Amino acid sequence: MKRGAINQLKELAKNYAIVAFSTEWRKDCAENIPVLGLISEATELKSESSEGLRKDPLNPRRRCRIPLIILFDKEGREVGKIVENPREESTLEEELLKIIGKNQV
Parent domain of 90: 3-103
Dihedral, 92, 14, 44, 72 alpha carbons, nearest 10 = -40
Residue 8 pLDDT exceeds 70: yes
DSSP 8-state secondary structure symbol assigned to residue 26: -
Total domains in the chain come to 1
What local confidence, expressed as pLDDT, does residue 94 receive?
A: 94
pTM of the model: 0.81
Phi then psi for residue 53, to 5 deg, are -70, 140
What local confidence, expressed as pLDDT, does residue 18 receive?
A: 94
- pLDDT tens by residue, 57-82: 666 676 666 788 999 999 999 999 99
- pLDDT tens by residue, 91-104: 999 999 999 988 87
- Residue scoring higher pLDDT (90 or 25): 90
CB 74 within 8 A of CB 58: no
Give the CATH number for residue 13.
Answer: 3.40.30.10
- pLDDT tens by residue, 15-58: 999 999 887 777 888 888 899 999 999 999 999 888 765 666 66
